Structure 1
Amino acid sequence: MKRLLTALFLSGCLAMTSNAAPAANLMPWPAHVEWRDGTLAIDATFRVRIAGHDDARLRAGIGRALDRLEKRVGINVGPRVVASGGALVVTCDSAGSALPKLGDDESYTLDVRASGAELRAPNVVGVLRGLETFLQLVEKRADGSFAAASVKIDDAPRFPWRGLMIDVARHFQPPEVIFRNLDAMAAVKMNVLHLHLTDDQGFRIESKRHPELHAVSADSGVLTQEQIRAIIAAAAERGIRVVPEFDVPGHATAWLASHPEIASVPRNYTVAKNWGVLNPVMDPTKLETDALLGSFFAEMAALFPDEFFHIGGDENNGKDWNASERIAAFKKGHGFATNEALHAWFNQKLAAMMTPLGKRLVGWDEVLHPDFPRSAVVHSWRGPESLAQAAQQGFAGILSAGYYLDLHYPAADAYAADPLPADSKLTPEQAARVLGGEAPMWSEWADARIYDFRIWPRAAAVAERLWSPREVRDVADMYRRLARVDEWLVETGVQHHAWPRFEGFSPEEAAALRVLASAVEPVKRYRRGQIQKGGLDYPLNELADWAHSESRLAREFAAKLDDWLARSADARVPGAESITDQLEAWHGAARRAAAMPASGEIAQGRLDTARLLAELTESAQLAIVALVHQKHLTPEDAARAKGLLERAAKPTKAAVEFPFLPALRRLFAAAAP
């Protein structure tokens, strides 16, 4: 089959050449860009000169940028900063805030010419943002040398809140995961690290006042206060704020494991091992609850300097409140007709507790209530409509709906989610309350080995949506630039290319499994939990864990196949041979993977997926041969293809799906008799 298809395509393929200059790979795309002719050579003579304000944070930022430049270019820049001359002159007006704050000026201008470059900013953070753009301009030329494109850039973010949420509460994420993700965040100009620190499955932060709280998670991982201070310092050095989240009153099993007296329903509480919306919830009517939260939150308010303090507030299913006679009597006595009214009263108490400590509360959609203080921020997981309602009611808000990295949606979906869409009906005053958004990475199905792999590079698309003008919306161009940024992110130390490791398999088996994994993606949204049990003790070393949330290879294959079909399945269309090359590669790897031994239903699901891929790719090659010869599949082959599509639409126990299935449907339809 391979030899026949190669001959068919080679007989008609046309060579393609292009004299066009390589397109720029900036991400996030700047607010204003003016390209010029020429380039600035980047070689061993490259130096930086600081004009104006100079301090340790500025020099550290320049040092990090030059570290990455040296890795990319393969040169040693030294001395790095000079008193005169310099190919890049950095002009900084002031230090700016030592600790970043919401609304800090992050603007900069960058002027690159063949004779040199100048980066200007009102403060150090603006310089840091501009340095990232300069690094993205540096590309390898045809002769092997490196240069930065000549350009004038005037840039500033669209939204002041551009965040990544790291969930350390489910699968614990140690400090090294957080530190390296700070560098990756800075590379794409994200400026808020949201740490989800408590949940049903873990209490992941040290409390010196109440050590019993974190003792329940001592065996599975806790961030010490010293480590938190180091994270805050590293984040501030990169112009990133750190916002803590302590989820109350629901998602509270880990709290109740050491303080059952504040529970709504008496029972024996231990840290949960399973996922889902669980019943345990704090009793907001008890003085013991107020005392514990007041003491602990005061300790945390002193530890985290940021103005914003996230209280969670989501997914209280109300079952334990409804089961409590005490709470029922309290609601009746205070005229609370609903649990929502009781929740709003609880949140008012928290606001009264935290406002004197200089904190503004942040909470998920469920906190939205007429009685909630207007100083608070509503964090929307429900969508732009919910966010708009909050803004209309006088609340500031941020969006996460559409940006959930753990749900495995493609970057294009996140790119389309806008906190302020073009058809927004908000007034200018209301629109100003929309602060931006965050990309959450919940860790139910991602331990520290997998975590970076699930975040990058898709989070860069979210970063662009929150930084760049609304009009920057070309999905194809976004993917083109994202592919380059994906490579550059490795320079920051983030380990999204270090997984999967295929533990327990031989090198030959791992090679086949790697190719198999490139053909699939994890099932979307929350479907994996419906197929596999999951939990804190669940091993994450199978096909759904090896597969990219979005397979670049599968996406590009589908695009090539659709393009070929649109051109009347002409064998002479440039790039057509790569379609059959990919089908053959998947077919061979699938057959090898299907022959491997398997133990357990999840591994058996992997074998079933491999067998199905082998059959799909074989049928696809038959369809291509038929179309190249301007014929159709036989009725038998067409019926077999239809059956394969039906089987492939239903996930196996491996909890993966074939992202190119729509393109195969179009292929089989085109070849149908």
Structure 2
Amino acid sequence: MMKNKLILAAMLTAGISLPSLGQTSPLALMPYPAKLEQQSGYFRLPAQLHLTVQNLSENRAAKLKQQLQASLGVTFGHSDQKLQIEIAQSTPGYPALGEDESYLLGISEDGILIQAQTELGALRGAQTLRQLAFDHQGKLPFVHIQDSPRFPWRGLMIDSVRHFMPLEAIYRQLDGMASAKLNVFHWHLTDDQGWRLESTAYPKLQQLASDGLYYSREQIRQVVNYANSLGIRVVPEFDVPGHATAIAVAYPELISQPGPYALERHWGVFEPLLDPSNPEVYQFIDTLVAEIAELFPDPYLHIGGDEINPTQWQQSQKIQAYMQAHGLEDHHQLHTHFNAQVQKILARHGKKMMGWDEIFHADLPKDIMIQSWQGLDSLAQTAMAGYQGLLSTGFYIDQPQKTAYHYRNEPVPANDFVGPDWHAKSQWQHWQFKMPRLKGAAVSGDLVLIEQPDGHQQGYVRLNKQQTRMLKDVTKQGKLTRFWLDTWMGPMQFEVDLSDSTQIQGRILIGNSPYKITGTQLAAGQGKANTPVVTAPSHFDPAFAENILGGEATIWSEMITGDNLDLRVWPRLYAIAERLWSVKTLTDEQAMYQRLKVMDDFATVVGLAHQSQQRDGFQALLDQPGDIQPLYTLADLLEQAQYYTRHHLKFQADAYHHGERLDRFVDYLPAESLALVELNQLIAKQSPGQRNSLQQVGQKFLAWQKQLPAVRALIAEHKALKPLAALIEDIEHSLTLGLDITKLCQAGPIPKEKADTLRQILWQLAEVKQEMVIGSAHSANLLLDRCLAS
């Protein structure tokens, strides 16, 4: 092994360039290593390897040995061929924030060597080895890898309240997290719909407010110990002063208005708030924090602190008098006052406060942690005020979203804004618009579009009076203007006709879900005179980037149970893990999807159940066991309506509650169809007249079309599938149009009049139906756009 050691030592000083992931076959690793060099040749795995491990604690060594033995397909014993794990210092305690997770991995003809400064580094290096073994069955490529994470906090938050998550589901997610090099499990344990953690001091919490579904203290200890064996920290969330209905059910005397209260069965934001004027509230918190501290050794305790509905505080004469006595002018100041008391309690128990954006206030100590669900503007404010923060906006995986959207979600705000370039012959338009949503207020916007004399298009939008953002890929074909940008809702694709100054016509796609747009033109002109004001966003000072410690994906469980949890999280969490681990410049989405397809299968080897959950869910839709392959055809073509469209539709139907069924076909669909991703990548390369490559596109539409008779037959046989029959004609129509457009495009550019007619049909086919979208209609529309006459 001396040769390996010398090479790996040299890597520390020489550095190895990251290979371009635009190459034809990057190694199927996620997160991708910081520095990797692949050499010709392979180490063929023998039946037996000699394993030596230095300075690894017993529980972690046992877990690691189990993982590697299964992944490599070997037994460990006496052999001339070695797997050697060298750790500079034993670090057996609980994982620490910022602990060194770097590692070196070398594979040569001599064998395998992992070197790390700490146990955590060795654990991370072993996960890379497992991925290499999966993608190169029976042999490992000769590689030299030097790797370390970009951010020290890389987490997954699981909501065990709205739907209780069985322990076996939690353990599976921990195994998956370890395989993705994530290192923080944020466990949401209390909310309006239940209390999920056993308390000895306040037993009515679990007795009256859990429906019998909670984790015992011993179970929690076991989860924390298991996570520790994987190098994962566990941060509990105990919500105060809002999201407190469960507390109100058990101890109404602590709430700002008298009860009685019942557990909340609906989803949303509700009124019960702890009473900041009641000394017993602080004793309650102090006692619970002491109990929690016994179970969770992590220095951070998450207090929630979000979505305060101030009604109860405003209606209480006692609380109003308390505010006056303490010089508190409004509920925001009262909330800050309450948080300050809670922070002192946490500090007495050796805990640091963590919470959502709403807890941020300059009066709180700088060692608190702010988790942002309100976006990069809020996170930037937090960081530049000297507070540490995490990004969760854009990583909300309870929403079905395109994996590419999460992958583009950079935690450190970029100062990449380029203002308008006004010329004497610049043509500009200024619009105001609204996008009504299915729940909540409409999204409003201020839009500026500029066309330069050379035809170059610029655009800017300000949504809901937030900071101005640049539009991407502004193009105009005939009357249709297109552009897009990433927002807190997801990727927004505008497809609008601006030819009538009195109204905007067209649509906005949030992910795959179409929304109507209304609006009017405020002004238009040419040149530099009377141009609309485009205000640049606030500059983020890069000196404060070190205050942004990373991010957390969040999986809220209004529409998720243990039966489809894995399907909602994986494999796309690997892409989020890569954004938080790998270098910032790793942004090739096409290469990411190539590797994600491999990770989809690798995750099953890790023990994740996303594929089996889909299979079992589909099988359960049949009246008797049968062939479910036709349902996989449907799953290629249909996607969940993305963003929170499904949630909002259920709200409109008065089905946004705990009693709503979550066992329909739509509930066993992944966040996006990787089959459609592959087709859309192929379509994006097309242009009119390319007969051979367009033929490949047509073959995909045709293959699906040929499978539809079997889909129809299966639907006709089974009661639970019959509602899908209404979609089949539209699906077939979309595939037929895809074939028609392919043939038209092979002959050359498609005339505008023909294209307009086809587009209107495809837009109608892509409307949300049964909480789903026909993705093949979007693909056919994308092909149409590629084939238009200029």
Same fold? TM cut 0.5: yes
Q: Is 1:23 matched up with 2:144?
A: no
Task: Tell me whether 1:617 sits opposite 2:735 in the alignment.
Answer: yes
Q: Does 1:347 align with 2:307?
A: no
Aligned to 1:579: 700
- 1:110-169: per-residue Cα shift (whole Å, max 9, x none)? 11112222111112211111111112222566xxx6211111111111111000111101
Secondary structure of residue in 1 paired with 2:611 = coil
Q: Residues 583 and 621 of structure 1 are in contact (CA less than 8 Å); yes or no, is this contact kept in structure 2?
A: no
1:546 aligns with 2:668: yes
> Quick one: distance in 1 between partners of 2:755 and 2:745?
13
SS at match of 1:498: helix
* Counterpart position of 1:123: 118
Deviates more, 1:584-593 or 1:183-192: 584-593
Q: Are 1:44 and 2:165 an aligned pair?
A: no
Which of 63, 69, 72 aligns to 2:71? It is 69
Aligned ranges for residues 493-572 of structure 1 at < 5 Å?
Answer: 493-500=607-614, 501-502=617-618, 503-505=620-622, 506-508=624-626, 510-532=628-650, 533-563=655-685, 565-566=686-687, 568-571=689-692
- Asked if 1:246 corresponds to 2:238, the answer is yes
Q: Which amino acid aligns with 1:124?
A: E
- 1:261 aligns with one of 249, 253, 256: 253
Q: Any gaps of 5 or more consecutive residues in structure 2?
A: 1-22, 417-538
Residue 442 of structure 1: aligned partner: 556
CA root-mean-square deviation = 2.6
Instruction: Report the counterpart of residue 471 of structure 1 in structure 2.
Output: 585
Contact 1:41 1:147 in 2 (8 A): yes
Identity of aligned residues (%): 33
Label 1:431 to 1:668 Cα distance change in 2 as closer, same or farther (>3 A): closer
* Cα distance in 2 between the residues matched to 1:237 and 1:527: 39
User: Is this contact kept in 2: 1:519–1:586, CA < 8 A?
Assistant: no
Whether 2:154 is the aligned partner of 1:162: answer: yes
Aligned to 2:496: none
Instruction: Quote the residue 1:174 is aligned against.
Output: 166
**Which is further off, 111-120 or 607-616?**
607-616
Q: Partner of 2:239: helix, strand, or coil?
A: strand
After superposition, give the CA deviation of every residue in 1:287-315 in whole Å (9 maximum; x if it has no partner). 22112212112111121111000000011
The answer (yes or no) to whether the contact 2:164–2:213 under 8 Å persists in 1 is: yes
Which of 178-187 and 92-101 deviates more?
92-101
Alpha carbons 2:248, 2:259 under 8 Å: kept: no
Between 621-630 and 60-69, report the one with greater CA deviation: 621-630
Distance 1:645 1:331 in 2: 58
Q: Does 1:365 align with 2:362?
A: no
Aligned to 2:767: 650
State whether residues 49 and 86 of structure 1, in contact with CA within 8 Å, keep that contact through their aligned partners in structure 2: no
Instruction: Give the counterpart of 2:139 among 138, 144, 147.
Output: 147
Quote the Cα distance in structure 2 between the aligned partners of 1:140 and 1:168.
Answer: 34
The answer as to 2:595 corresponding to 1:481 is: yes
- Equivalent position amino acid for 1:463 in 2: A
- Alpha-carbon deviation of 1:49? 2.3
Q: Which residue of 2 aligns with 1:291?
A: 283
**For the Cα contact (< 8 Å) 1:48–1:81, is it kept in 2?**
yes
The superposition leaves residues 475-511 of structure 1 with CA deviations (integer Å, 9 ceiling, x where unpaired) of 1111111111221111111101112223241455743
CA contact (8 A) 1:513 1:589 kept: no
Alignment CA distance shift 1:319-1:522 (3 Å): farther
Deviation digits for residues 9-56 of structure 1 (CA, Å, limit 9, x no counterpart): xxxxxxxxxxx9843111111121122221111131333222x32431
Structure 1 stretch displaced more, 166-175 or 41-50 = 41-50
1:25-424 aligned at under 5 Å gives the runs 25-50=28-53, 52-70=54-72, 75=73, 77-78=74-75, 80-82=76-78, 85-138=80-133, 146-219=138-211, 221-423=213-415
Distance 1:257 1:393, change over 3 A: same
CA distance in structure 2 between the aligned counterparts of 1:95 and 1:185, rounded to whole angstroms: 23
Q: Secondary structure of the residue that 2:380 maps to in structure 1?
A: helix
Question: 4+ residue runs of structure 1 moved beyond 6 angstroms?
Answer: 631-635, 637-640, 670-673
Aligned-partner SS, 2:303 = strand
| Partner of residue 461, structure 2 | none
For residues 572 and 698 of structure 2, the distance between their equivalents in structure 1, rounded to whole angstroms, comes to 29
Deviation of the 1:672 alpha carbon: 8.1
Q: Give yes or no for contact 2:371–2:392 (8 Å, CA) kept in 1.
A: yes
Distance 1:418 1:179 in 2: 29
Deviation larger for 541-550 or 576-585: 576-585
Q: Is the 8 A contact 1:586 1:614 kept in 2?
A: no
Distance 1:510 1:561 in 2: 29
1:512–1:592 CA contact under 8 A, matched in 2: no
Give the unaligned 5+ runs of structure 1. Answer: 1-19
CA contact (8 A) 2:689 2:747 kept: no
Aligned partner of 1:664 among 780, 783, 788: 780
Q: Which stretch of structure 1 is more off in the superposition, 617-626 or 188-197?
A: 617-626
> Size of the alignment, in residue pairs?
637
Q: Secondary structure at the match of 1:488?
A: helix
- Residues 449-499 of structure 1: CA distance to partner in whole angstroms, max 9, x if unpaired? 000110001111111111111111111111111111221111111101112
Displacement, 1:178?
Answer: 0.7
Determine the C-alpha separation between the residues in 2 that align with 1:367 and 1:497. 39
Task: State the SS of the aligned residue for 1:406.
Answer: coil
Corresponding letter in the other structure for 1:89:
Q
Moved more, 416-425 or 443-452: 416-425
CA-to-aligned-CA distance 1:412-449 (integer Å, 9 cap, x gap): 11111111144385556522211111100111110000
Say which structure is richer in strand. Answer: 2
Which deviates the most, 534-543 or 189-198? 534-543
CA distance in 2, matches of 1:572, 1:159: 41
SS in 2 for 1:497: helix
Offset, 1:182: 0.7
d(CA) in 1 for partners of 2:24, 2:775: 32
More divergent stretch after superposition (20-29 vs 358-367): 20-29
TM-score by length of 2: 0.76
Offset, 1:329: 2.6
User: 657-666 or 327-336: which moved more?
Assistant: 657-666
Alpha-carbon contact 2:104-2:114 (below 8 Å) kept: yes
Question: CA 1:212–1:586 in structure 2 vs 1: closer, same or farther (change >3 Å)?
Answer: farther
Tell me by how many angstroms 1:81 deviates.
Answer: 4.9
Secondary structure at 2:301's aligned position in 1?
Answer: strand
Deviation at 1:628, TM superposition (A): 4.0
Letter matched to residue 393 of structure 1: A
Provide the rounded CA distance (Å) in 2 between the counterparts of 1:62 and 1:530. 44
- Check the 8 A contact 2:154/2:580 in 1, yes or no: yes
Change (3 A) 1:544 1:326: farther
Residues 133 and 666 from structure 1, CA distance in 2 versus in 1: closer, same or farther, beyond 3 angstroms?
closer
In the superposition, the TM-score normalised over structure 1's length comes to: 0.89
Separation in 2, partners of 1:643, 1:447: 38
In the alignment, the residues of structure 1 paired with residue 609 and residue 363 of structure 2 have an alpha-carbon distance, to the nearest angstrom, of: 44
The residue type equivalent to 2:589 in the other structure is V
- Which stretch has the larger CA shift, 546-555 or 583-592? 583-592
Paired residues of 1:587 and 1:618 also in contact (CA < 8 A): no
